[in-house]
Amino acid sequence: MSGKYLVATDQNFKAEVLESDKVALVDFWAAWCGPCMMLGPVIEELAGDYEGKAVIAKVNVDENPNTAAQYGIRSIPTMLVFKNGQVVDQMVGAMPKNMIAKKIDEHIG
């Protein structure tokens, strides 16, 4: 089941991710990044799996340089897990769905 992930931007990041009462997984990506493209379908599946339980978001680093810079994103894909407005976990590189889900679950429970 694939769901609709949040398209996070410099404008909505604070309201949708930092001020959310749910755990948020944010995938920092770019259209020219091969591993990011491979990760795309996984992020969509996670959005479906965690609908109502967590925020699953993607930030295009080319279109939203301020948010990427704010979190020191140097290589993509980078996924950050936020809880109560703070970064609580980080994953760099394309990872299997089960590993990403495990990280999210650690912070939901």
How far is residue 4's CA from residue 83's CA, in Å, rounded to a whole number?
20
Tell me if 43 sits within 8 A of 2, measured CB to CB: no
Note the pLDDT tens digit of each residue in 11-25: 999 999 999 999 999
Considering the entire predicted model, what is its pTM?
Answer: 0.96
Q: How far apart are the first and last CA of the chain?
A: 22
Choice between 2 and 81, residue whose per-residue pLDDT is larger: 81
Tell me if 45 sits within 8 A of 97, measured CB to CB: yes
Q: Is the pLDDT of residue 1 over 80?
A: no
How would residue 2 be classed by pLDDT, with cut points 50, 70 and 90? low
Q: Which residues are catalytic?
A: 33, 36
Q: Rounded mean pLDDT of the chain?
A: 96
Question: Which residues have CB under 8 Å from 107's CB, separation 6+?
Answer: 23, 81, 83, 88, 89
Note the pLDDT tens digit of each residue in 81-105: 999 999 999 999 999 999 999 999 9
Note the pLDDT tens digit of each residue in 15-65: 999 999 999 999 999 999 999 999 999 999 999 999 999 999 999 999 999
Task: Give the whole-number percent of the chain exceeding pLDDT 90.
Answer: 95
